[in-house]
Structure 1
């Protein structure tokens, strides 16, 4: 019993020394505990390497608890930025899920979800048509909800805008990050916070003019995501030079139907870009 106590004490002293060293090496430091999924000690080095950055962040992961202690410089980085790096290395965590193709190339001893079957691998393979269709179908519901909002604004129908904003909110929440391609995944992590706020703001906006103001910001967020996606149809990135100095919108239909002015100036604007 005494020997066990001594070992526990030694471990605690070791951890304390590590944290003390980390705080000494990282200025403006903050310490938080985060949850990261992994498979025993096989993943420890990979996780800690992904989350650690010289003079900015030190990540120490415990395989037994799936918890990690993160010490980071609040002036140089954020917890979110560290967790994004961990995600892109193949590890799910409390904020993000890893891309399937990244997870699949982890060493077998570190595949904490188990080895996928051949059919699952085919359906998630970035080079397979089924994989592309799956990724697009997940995001397509987001895009279609956005286009429905656009059409309601063209009609100046605030009630329908609110309804479609609710559908967009549902679509955003249903997106499975692990089903996205690497490019989509990186952009999704960057925009999901803004997307959720803008969708909520659009739902609660009172009146068509307030809805249009939120829609202008929402458009730029959706545009970033569309640019990273592989869509099976053309999307038109249109520009209105008059609304609040300058504003854009996306449409799945060719031709100008301005959502910022509706029938007042329906054809005001031009197409800046056709995607893809």
Structure 2
């Protein structure tokens, strides 16, 4: 009986290895043109999926770009610029499409986008003190969004222990430029973690 189990196990292992090797060979040959209808159809489907993903990634990257521009306006104590960028970010968030994600991710992303949009709208119509209050929650929403969507950029999650019992934000640079205090405490904070 043990011999039969070992034989079945060996056959299963051999089949798995052959399948893995054939998948590896198939991925190498996908780039080449074939006359097999099934392979051609799969290649077209794969290309469409890549194109959709690229478009989706671009929308997620647009949100990040607008977020970083807003952060920089707060660092520079520029209330009017932050208002305009809050509106820009609101539009980017509303344009984000979640249909390329799993059902659970879609639910989570919809909640994050809704909350982030509300905070971006408030930033678009508030004084700088109130903008900074909303930026704290907006930063958490954007960080949670990146955890789902990913990003091609290297990001730094930075933390200021002094603002509102501790507040985090994202940056594309390791150097601390505090959006919560601006010129008053420009370098207050530290890098908590690197993303990517």
1:221 and 2:145 correspond: no
* Matched length: 155
Segments of structure 2 that go 5 or more residues without pairing to the other structure are 1-40
2:181 is matched with: 261
Selected match of 2:158 from 229, 238, 251? 238
Partner-residue secondary structure (3-state), 2:168: strand
Higher helix fraction (1 or 2) = 2
- Compare relative contact order (CA 8 Å, sep 6+) and give the higher one, 1 or 2: 2
2:168 is matched with: 248
1:198 and 2:119 correspond: yes
The alpha-carbon deviation at position 202 of structure 1 amounts to 1.2
1:55-95 deviations in whole A, cap 9, x for unaligned?
A: xxxxxxxxxxxxxxxxxxxxxxxxxxxxxxxxxxxxxxxxx
1:166 is matched with: 87
Relative to structure 1, is the Cα distance of residues 118 and 144 closer, same or farther in structure 2, using a 3 angstrom cutoff? Answer: same
2:34 is matched with: none
The alpha-carbon deviation at position 243 of structure 1 amounts to 0.4
The CA distance in 2 between the partners of 1:184 and 1:250, in whole Å, is 21
1:1-276 correspondence to structure 2 within 5 Å: 121-125=45-49, 128=50, 130-178=51-99, 180-182=100-102, 185-205=106-126, 207-276=127-196
The CA distance in 1 between the partners of 2:162 and 2:98, in whole Å, is 37
Higher strand fraction (1 or 2) = 1
The CA distance in 2 between the partners of 1:124 and 1:251, in whole Å, is 32
Partner-residue secondary structure (3-state), 2:124: helix
The CA distance in 2 between the partners of 1:166 and 1:262, in whole Å, is 21
Partner-residue secondary structure (3-state), 1:204: coil
Contact 1:239-1:249 at 8 Å conserved across structures: yes
1:173-212 deviations in whole A, cap 9, x for unaligned?
A: 111222x33375343123122122112111121x211110
Relative to structure 1, is the Cα distance of residues 137 and 238 closer, same or farther in structure 2, using a 3 angstrom cutoff? Answer: same
Segments of structure 1 that go 5 or more residues without pairing to the other structure are 1-116
Partner-residue secondary structure (3-state), 1:233: coil
Relative to structure 1, is the Cα distance of residues 124 and 194 closer, same or farther in structure 2, using a 3 angstrom cutoff? Answer: farther
Structure-2-length-normalised TM-score: 0.72
1:233-272 deviations in whole A, cap 9, x for unaligned?
A: 1111110000011111111122110111111211110111
Relative to structure 1, is the Cα distance of residues 124 and 201 closer, same or farther in structure 2, using a 3 angstrom cutoff? Answer: farther
The alpha-carbon deviation at position 147 of structure 1 amounts to 0.5
